[in-house]
Chains A and B, each alone.
Chain A
Amino acid sequence: MVSQNPGFMAGIPELMILRLLQDREMYGYELVQAIRATTREAISLGEGVIYPLLHALEKDGALKSRRAPAAGRTRVYYTLTSKGVRRLFDLTDDWGRLNGAVAAVLKGGAHAV
């Protein structure tokens, strides 16, 4: 499972969060469940550890948040900013290049075998 290898996971949670928030605003629990469902549980972020990443992205200006009451509790919704959209495009490019490079190596490796 990808989530069990921290080396492979570097930068991936950030990319997924930005991509999911591009479609609509979401809160922490929703994001964790969306990542799990979209990746068919191949990637599973720790339930409580997504928040430091969300706070860091907000601090960098990639996200903005708003609070809303929900069943007597405080719920914090996150949305993408224009800076976050640029960051998403950059990360998507990086991921595409990396993915292509790894695919090329794997394909070459298969031929060699």
Chain B
Amino acid sequence: MRSEAGRFEGLHETLLRAGIAPRRVKRYLAELDDHLAELTAREGAAGYDPAEAATRARALLGSEDELAQSWLSNPRLKSLTARAPWLVFGVLPPFALIAGFIIPLLVLMAWGFLMGFLPVHAHGPSTVPAWFRALVHAISLALNFLVGPLLLAWLARIVWRQRLSPVWLLLATGLFLLFFIRLDIVIGSPGLPMRVSVFSNLAALFTGKWHLAMDDDPAWQFLAQLFLTLLPALWLQRRFAGARVDREFT
């Protein structure tokens, strides 16, 4: 049995390319499918044989151009991403990137304070258990590899699903590379202070403190983070290339 998207494939693509949100398109196609079934049943009840009833029902429903036009004439039905891609891909990502680092850290710190592990004094006895020290360090490193790439993967999925120009993802990727935040938190052993080091390309541009980026971390971590940041753009490029090939052969 063909899916709604398969039955109305041309309409599906037209609406996505016009900026209608994918969830709305999906629901519309389901509604059309139900409508078509009702019309077919009605025509069948009127005495037409099944094949003729199906043909008549499809004609009554309207051509794909007529159906698409009824959506295109109403700009309010376009998604925010289609109406303001500059906002979704150019303005919001840096804020989301910073929030993606800050929120987990605030949660960790709040937990540390509630448990009485923090604050850690430079020369006082540390009450921080080894497991919490290891957890904070691991999470701070994991955020480097996860926050930016996951946000970009999500944006790449939006670009693909809404058939937007890949340029918008390149813009977001460029912004992430510009910021390129690296975080490292080490809660010291007894007698040693907590060390928080944050590196950002953007800050280094202004301060010139590029050496902070390479002080402690091995080069593979930079390269891995760089690769993961570029991965969503590479994936999207492959999807668009694959779709182009499919169109050429169909």
Contact = CB atoms under 8 A, between A and B. Distances in A.
Interface of A: 27-29, 32, 46-49, 51-53, 55-56, 59, 70-71, 73-76
B62 A56 contact: no
Contact of A51 (B32, B38, B76): B32
B67 A48 contact: yes
A49 B62 contact: yes
Given A52-B77, A55-B28, A75-B31, 7 more contacts: A48-B35, A49-B62, A52-B28, A56-B77, A74-B30, A74-B33, A76-B31
Q: How large is the interface on B (under 10, 10 to 19, 20 to 34, 35 or more residues)?
A: 20 to 34
B92 interface: no
Interface string B178-189: 000000000000
Given A28-B31, A70-B34, A59 B77 contact: yes
B71 interface: yes
Contacts of A47: 35, 39, 60-62
8 contacts: A27-B31, A32-B35, A46-B70, A47-B61, A49-B62, A49-B66, A55-B24, A74-B30
B34 A56 contact: no
Interface string B45-84: 0000000000000001110001100110110110000000
A103 to B, nearest CB: 31
A29 B42 CA distance: 11
* SS class, residues of chain A in contact with chain B: mixed
Interface of B: 24, 27-28, 30-35, 37-39, 60-62, 66-67, 70-71, 73-74, 76-77
Contacts of A73: 30, 33-34, 37
**Residue in A48, A53, A73 with the greatest tally of chain B CB atoms within 10 Å:** A48
Contacts of B37: 71, 73
A48 B31 CA distance: 9
* SS class, residues of chain B in contact with chain A: helix
A52 B70 contact: yes
Contacts of B71: 52
Contacts of A76: 27, 30-31, 34
A59 B76 contact: yes
A48 B24 contact: no
B28 A51 contact: yes
B42 to A, nearest CB: 9
A51 B69 CA distance: 12
A9 B60 CA distance: 20
Given A47-B60, A74-B30, A76-B27, A52 B35 contact: no
Contact of B74 (A46, A56, A71): A56
**Residue in B35, B71, B73 with the greatest tally of chain A CB atoms within 10 Å:** B35
A32 to B, nearest CB: 8
A51 B27 CA distance: 10
B32 A48 contact: yes
A56 B38 contact: no
Nearest to A70: B34
A46 B35 contact: no
B66 A56 contact: no
A75 B60 contact: no
B223 to A, nearest CB: 46
6 smallest A-B Cβ distances: which pairs? Answer: A49-B70, A74-B30, A29-B38, A48-B62, A48-B61, A48-B67
